[in-house]
Amino acid sequence: MKMVYTNENHFLANNAKNIIESVGIVTFLKNEFVQGVVGEVAAFDCWPEVWVVDDSDFERAKEALDEANKSRSMNDWICNHCLEENDASFEICWQCSEDIE
Ligand SMILES: [Zn+2]
């Protein structure tokens, strides 16, 4: 197993996981449920981490994330549900969790 992505923001970590899984790679989200204990451990240790189960998928997972980042700012979208502006790499609205379109 290899870690491909980590972010203190759970939404962004989940988003990265979705992007990687969308290209058919099996991922594993670590530290998903530990937010409540920040303060007892170094905060960084509690960041959610996205891991690929198969090491050979690592490069492909990184590429998928790079691709998603490239499209950033080019195709930002407005949520039909709450009219919030969303980053192009998001598949669901960060505000209300509504699907794109
Ligand atoms: Zn919304």
- For residue 55, the number of C-alpha atoms closer than 13 Å in the C-beta half-sphere is 1
Q: What is the pLDDT of residues 17-63, one digit of tens each?
A: 999 999 999 999 998 765 555 555 555 567 899 999 999 999 999 99
Q: Is the model more confident about 57 or about 100?
A: 57
Q: How far is the CA of 86 from the centre of ligand 1 (A)?
A: 8
Residue 83 vs residues 58, 97, 100: alpha-carbon distances, Å: 35, 12, 11
Specify the pTM. Answer: 0.62
Spell out the domain ranges in the chain: 2-72
The whole-number pLDDT of residue 77 equals: 86
Q: Is the model more confident about 75 or about 84?
A: 84
Domain 2-72: state its class.
alpha beta
Lowest mean pLDDT among 11-15, 20-24, 66-70, 90-94: 66-70
Residues with beta carbon < 5 A to ion ligand 1? 79, 81-82, 84, 93, 95-96, 98
